[in-house]
Amino acid sequence: QSALTQPPSASGSPGQSVTISCTGTSSDVGGYNFVSWYQQHPGKAPKLMIYDVSKRPSGVPDRFSGSKSGNTASLTVSGLQAEDEADYYCNSHAGTNNYVVFGGGTKLTVL
Amino acid sequence: QVQVQESGPGLVRPSETLSLTCSVSGGAITSHYWNWIRQPPGKGLEWIGYIVYHGGSTNYSPSLKSRVTLSMDTSTNQFSLRLTSVTAADTAVYYCARGDWSSWLDPWGQGTLVTVSS
């Protein structure tokens, strides 16, 4: 079970949109509509932002959206705000053994 | 609203066993999947495993399977992690989190730093 692949960094100016990718295989991201995204500020616990590819938990701003195409899932943050600067991680249900696999994380910088 | 909180020693000697407990409030651990995840300092998240009440089923990361045991106690609404034969590579912030078969994790505990050192 290999980690999902995320770009190490992404950036954008306030008000802009930025998209973070999460690439897996047909055994995880591509095989199930079970990709989640987490936001982690320094020294804090991760927070669920997107689940089941594109669903938002209650309280998460609609500036955050998720999608998937083939083996790659994406998180888009629209109307960037300073407080969106954080690390973002994806995870997915993986394989017939029902493992959980994470991406390596992407540091989002708001310029 | 469900809340989870990790507890346990912050320092473990090399070759010994790391033991942590996660206390759950606001909901029963007889539903959902109960996960442990860790994060070495400055690094990414690593899933350790989960336990499910029904059937007492567990599932562990292949990389840790030989050293990990998860258990749960419904009388105290807690679940626990045991990791044997620890080394410095096991130094990390350990999180517990509620999950589901679809692998979303929410909520997370605040995390507890465990350092492996003599």
Asked if the Cβ–Cβ distance from B104 to A45 is below 8 Å, we say no
Cross-strand pairs, B18? B83
DSSP letter at B9 equals -
Q: What integer pLDDT is reported at residue A32 of this predicted model? A: 93
Strands B3-7 and B105-108: unpaired
DSSP states of B56-99: G-EEE-TTTTTTEEEEEETTTTEEEEEE-S--GGG-EEEEEEEE
Measured distance CA(A62)–CA(A4) in Å, rounded: 25
Put simply, the chain B residues between 42 and 61 with a CB less than 8 A from any chain A CB are 44-47, 50, 59, 61
Q: How many residues does chain B have?
A: 118
pLDDT tens-digit series, residues B51-103: 998 888 999 999 999 999 999 999 999 999 999 999 999 999 999 999 998 89
Tally C-beta pairs within 8 A across A and B: 68
Asked if the Cβ–Cβ distance from B109 to A45 is below 8 Å, we say yes
Q: What integer pLDDT is reported at residue A1 of this predicted model? A: 53
Series of mean pLDDT values for 10-residue runs along chain A (111 residues): 88 97 95 96 98 97 97 98 98 85 97 93
By Cβ distance, the residue of A45, A48, A100 closest to B95 is A45
Q: What integer pLDDT is reported at residue A47 of this predicted model? A: 98
Q: Using the structure block, give the residue that is written with the tokens 């998209």.
A: A19
Determine contact, residues B82/B58, Cβ cutoff 8 Å.
no
Q: What integer pLDDT is reported at residue A2 of this predicted model? A: 61
